[in-house]
Amino acid sequence: MALNQDIINYFDGKDIDIRTYSPLTLAYIGDDVFDLVIRTIVVNKGNTRPNNLHENAIKYVSAVAQARICDEISPILTEEEADILRRGRNAKPHSKAKNASTTQYMKATALEALIGYLYLQDEMDRIFELVKCGINKIEDDS
C-alpha cells in the first residue's frame, strides 16, 4: 500500500525529504492518519449509529488514549522511530490539552508525529502493527 505516493503522483506533488519536516508538521498529518485507521477499525466492527461509532473511536483517539499507546509501543520502536517520537514529544505545540495533562498531550503529539512520519514513508504495515499493539493494551485494560 502506497497511498501517500499515489496522492503525490496523482496531484503532481513533489518528493520532499521528510526528515526536514518539523515534528508538528508530521503530527498534523499523523493525527488524521491515526484517526482514519481507528475509524476504519470501529466501522468494521459493525454498522451502528454515528454517536456509537464516535464513542467507540474516542476510546483510542483522545490524548489520554494516545499517550497510553505511546507508552505501550515505545519499547518496540526502532532507533529511528524512537528519535521521531522524542522529537514529537519535545515539540512546542501552539495549543493546550483540553482533557489531558500536558505530559499526556505531548505524548499524543509524539505518537501523531511518528504516525505521520511512517505514513509519509509509506510504512502503513508498521503503522498497523503499532496501532494494534497500542489498542490491544487499551482493550486489555478495559
31 is catalytic: yes
Contact 104, 97 (CB under 8 A): yes
Contact 30, 116 (CB under 8 A): yes
Contact 40, 128 (CB under 8 A): no
Catalytic residue among 12, 31, 83, 141: 31
Active site residues: 31
